[in-house]
Structure 1
Amino acid sequence: STAIDVLGYLVEVVSGKPFDVFLRERIFEPLGMTDTDFWAPPEKAHRLATLYGPSESGGLKVLQTTENFLRKPSAPSGGGGLVSSMADYYRFAQTLLNRGAWNGVRLLGRRTVEWMMTNHLPEGMRLPDDPACGFGYGGSVIVDAARHFHMGSPGNWGWGGAANTWFFLDPVEDLLAVMMLQYMPGFSIPFHHTFANLVYQALVD
């Protein structure tokens, strides 16, 4: 929602820096996320993924080319717009799974991350599209694993994007998973449930 855009602006106010500069200095550079920014330079244009959707004939059609991401936006958004790679996103997710640290760099305190991954909704309230989940700071939290749409542990935390992108962290299993489909409309196909089930079924220890 626009709440995340407001948070991005608050970061600018509190830090005294543009939002993109703050992210680069405080998160991307310390974690070695060299492919993450609000735009991609020309030399990386060939690596940008095309966004697809259903065509009228039953196949796929291109919904958005990569041109929009080859120029710096006038106002970096707190709610979306970053360009990244699977490797960079893995570093970010692993940092959260590690309770705020990655490769000797600590961005957040352990208790801060645990608080982020705790359900903060009032008793009895759930996400409208998933009665098994509550909400932490920035992501959904599985509260009732038995009622969830796919396999998972209580405390499983994550979030998805409009193009069927999704990641989740499972502190119980010390597990993270990232999926980047680049297909819209979001969550119109149940593949993310299948993906999660396949991940958990692969755990045999």
Structure 2
Amino acid sequence: MNDTSVARLDPARMQRIADWMERYVEARKYAGSAILVFEGGTERYFHACGLRSIEQGLPWQRDTVARIYSMTKPVTSLAVMMLAERGLFHLDAPLSQFLPAFADLQALVPGAERIDQTEPANAPTLHHLLTHTSGLSYPFNPGVLAHEMDERKIMFNPNQGILADMVDRVAELPLAFQPGAHWEYSVGIDVLGRVVEVVSGKSLGQFFAEEIFAPLGMSETAFRVPEGTGDRFASLYTPLAGDAMALNAAKAGGESLRLVDSVGDSSFETTDMHSGGGGLVGTIDDYMRFAEMLRLGGVLDGQRIIGSSTLDFMMRNHLPGDIASMGPQSFAEQPMDGVGFGLGGAVVIDPARSRTPGSIGDFSWGGMASTFFWVDREKDLSVVFFTQLSPSSSYPSRAELKALVHGALA
């Protein structure tokens, strides 16, 4: 993964990252974590600290396997665009062209207070789904649709059956708004995972394994904990009482690291759901290979995954302005001011308005267990951070980490 560049990251200043990570562990905010930083294709920094399992006293190590949750979304978005650049569809195609259950849709009327207060709606396009402007939602968002999804347990969890069946259940509900009217974080990328299956004739897991992970050398990333890595699978914790994903009913206080999921009884060890929105587990080195492919324009170690022009298109802002300008009501994992959205990740359009150091064009996303990555092609940086605490909104670690890395640039 090496290209020629002159190191600009100050090693002494990078040490501040280790101090910061260890403070999080000492304060019992995170059980353990790891960070990997590449500059110009060369590893400049790695640090791991704390535990992957408090109960067993096992250290967080470089080869620890973690749930990356929504960091699955950029992978699914890439798969969609790989098929698009083969001429198999265009992004303005309606979802109903691939999934007939989404024909004859309804959308909630503005200000609706009940799930039956609806009006006719057009099927969202693939582009709407890629950019979270489709009118779909998540059970942990506020609002009428989100509440109904929560009641019906529409969440794409690892043990909730097959993807096709869950997508059909999504289609039974109205949209939260007319497609394109707002930005709302949603299961849209999960639904697109089903489109990948229909168009490619492969399961989403098979498509990922054969067309993305194998060429990139990501041998320890999958929808199920890879065979032989179970002893390296990290436990998941939460500071909330009750369900770590039920944010509308979340209650804080008391123990800051409550065990949620661990090796031996985790649904990620027996997964049947291929959730393109949040189902992957993997190692930090594997995800860095994905991030480096993005930084390098779709190629890594001579293996081209996607055209450079297609990838440039993905990493541009596809919204009329920033996310904040589209009236979002949904759960937020990172700033919405000064930040737009591309195909699969957030795009910085004004670092000052985002109130976080960065470059225009930074491409990033994170996961519910507080994992995070970003690619800064202006500064030739790829950064991946792994930990396992849900929800990701618990602490401002992402903004703090970006400040630390940018503070180390000469």
Same fold per superposition (TM over 0.5): yes
Q: How does 1:107-122 map to 2 (within 5 A)?
A: 107-122=305-320
How much has 1:42 moved relative to structure 2? 4.8
CA contact (8 A) 2:220 2:226 kept: no
Matching residue within 3, 6, 15 for 2:200 = 15
Q: Report what 1:60 is aligned to.
A: 257
Is 2:230 the counterpart of 1:24? no
Map 1:100-139 → 2, pairs under 5 A: 100-122=298-320, 124-127=321-324, 128=328, 129-139=335-345
Q: Are 1:69 and 2:250 counterparts?
A: no
| 2:402 alignment counterpart | 196
Identity of aligned residues (%): 43
* Residue in structure 1 matched with residue 250 of structure 2 by the alignment: none
Deviations 1:106-129 (A, max 9, x none): 00111111111100101x442445
TM-score (structure 1 length as normaliser)? 0.93
2:147 corresponds in structure 1 to: none
Retained in 1: the 8 A contact 2:322–2:336?
no
**SS at the partner of 1:11?**
helix
Q: Could you report, residue by residue, the CA deviation over 1:14-40 in whole angstroms, capped at 9, with x for unpaired residues?
A: 111111111100001111111011112
> Greater CA deviation, 195-204 or 42-51?
42-51
Is contact 2:298–2:306 with CA below 8 Å preserved after alignment? yes
Alignment CA distance shift 1:149-1:19 (3 Å): same
Report what 1:166 is aligned to. 372
| Alpha-carbon separation, structure 2, partners of 1:183 and 1:202 | 26
Are the structure 2 counterparts of residues 159 and 57 from structure 1 closer, same or farther at C-alpha, using a change threshold of 3 Å? Answer: same
Separation of aligned partners in 2, 1:173 and 1:155: 11
Query: 1:41-64: per-residue Cα shift (whole Å, max 9, x none)?
Result: 452111111111226434422122
Question: In structure 2, what residue type is equivalent to 1:174?
Answer: D
1:5 maps onto 2:190 in alignment: yes
Runs of 4+ in 1 over 6 A off after TM superposition: none
Instruction: Give the residue type in structure 2 aligned to 1:64.
Output: D
Q: Aligned AA for 2:366?
A: G
Give the direction of change, closer, same or farther, for the CA distance of 1:75–1:150 in structure 2 (3 Å limit).
same
Measured after TM superposition, the shift of residue 184 of structure 1 is: 1.4
Separation in 2, partners of 1:136, 1:111: 14
Per-residue CA shift, 1:56-87, capped at 9, x if unaligned? Answer: 4344221222322212x223111111111001
Q: Following the alignment from structure 1 to structure 2, what is the Cα–Cα distance between the partners of residues 10 and 31?
A: 23
Change (3 A) 1:21 1:187: same
CA distance in structure 2 between the partners assigned to 1:185 and 1:41 by the alignment:
24
Residue type of the partner of 1:69?
Answer: F
Aligned-residue offset at 1:152: 0.0
- Counterpart CA distance in 2 for 1:69 and 1:8 is 18
Worse-superposed segment, 187-196 or 94-103: 187-196
Q: TM-score, normalised by structure 2?
A: 0.48
Task: Report the Cα distance in structure 2 between the residues aligned to 1:42 and 1:15, rounded to whole angstroms.
Answer: 26
Gaps of 5+ in 2: 1-185, 241-252, 329-334
Q: Which has the higher contact order (CA 8 A, sep 6+)?
A: 2
